[in-house]
Amino acid sequence: MVLRQRGESDALQSVALMQQGSVADLTTDISILAARMSLECRLLMADSIILATSRVFGPTIWTQDSDFEGIEGVQYVAKKKV
């Protein structure tokens, strides 16, 4: 999406930033927490896995996905209308 919206230079910069992160395994504990959060927050399972993983490991989620709006530990930034 970055490539389409912002160009190759910004896309490569985004990849470089993502490579500085780490990958977390989807453990049984995270899966169970995600299932609970899916019900509590009315999130799709994929979104609840992201939220549960952040709760276990501590980082703040930054997103433009309005499904996360108002959820603790999430910084929601509305998309700019083009």
pLDDT for 59: 84
- Give the long-range contacts of residues 32-37, CB within 8 A, separation 24 or more: none
In sign, the C-alpha dihedral spanning 37, 52, 67, 74 is: positive
Q: What does the alpha-carbon distance between residue 55 and residue 34 come to, in Å, rounded to a whole number?
A: 10
Domain ranges of the chain: 25-77
In a structure prediction context, what are the per-residue pLDDT tens digits for the chain, which is 82 residues long? 787 888 888 889 989 988 998 889 999 999 999 999 999 999 999 999 999 999 999 989 999 999 999 999 999 999 888 7
Question: Which residues, in sequence order, are CB contacts of 2 under 8 Å at separation 6+?
Answer: 10, 11, 14
